[in-house]
Amino acid sequence: MGQALLRLAAESPETLQVVAAVTGRAPTQRVVDGVPFFAASELPGAPEFDVAIDFSLPEGFDPMLALCVERGAGLVSGTTGISTTQRQALDAAAAKIPLVWASNFSLGVAVLDELVERAAQALAGWDCDVVESHHTQKKDAPSGTALTLGAAAQRGGAEPHYASLRAGDIVGEHLVQFTGLGERIELVHRATNRDIFARGALFAARQLHGRAAASYRVRDLLQ
């Protein structure tokens, strides 16, 4: 994801300027294509920035969040597997900085999230099923995106059931199905390229810049 973010950001120099890249291990090169690289242990020495984009592991999440709060910078985070304590820290930080955390930064999934909630509100009593498909190397099931879509259904009053499929090299497919007597509605999102997640994160960073301190959803940034 880091490589995709750097590559895609370089395609939009008029709206995005990468001031630093941070890696878990010591970088083999200090500057790559004009971008200075820092090890995670050197994070406090990173130059000033407006918004940080974080796709690290849970152990790298706390230092990045703390630095953003210290500097009053925004945070876009797609780090999954964070603990309850880390989620509480994220909520507390939202009183000081603008931030968005999401399990999936696809703009299509952001729209699907809203559609699922609206469908659940309108179709009281219908069965709701969330079916997700991914490549064989993906270990968590249901996926984080499936759980996010299920939460949207719950907000609308539905009780979702989950099913997972692991096959081939599927990037990611999510089906939310509402079934009533004699009829069925299917809401589907299919990802065919992982760049969509990096593009969505860069979009979120642009939209987050200059906003008031708060916790935003990706769908909020589309409005």
Q: Hey, which residues are catalytic here?
A: 134, 138
Output the furthest CA–CA distance in the chain (Å, rounded).
62
Secondary structure E strands in the chain: 21-23, 31-32, 35-39, 51-54, 74-77, 98-101, 127-134, 160-166, 172-180, 183-191, 214-216
Residue 3 tokens, joined: 């490589």
Instruction: Report how far residue 133's alpha carbon sits from residue 213's, in angstroms, rounded to the nearest whole number.
Output: 35
- Hey, is 54 helix, strand or coil? strand
Instruction: Report how far residue 82's alpha carbon sits from residue 187's, in angstroms, rounded to the nearest whole number.
Output: 28
Of 58, 57, 56, 3, nearest in space to 33 by CA: 3
Task: Indicate the length of the chain as a whole number.
Answer: 223
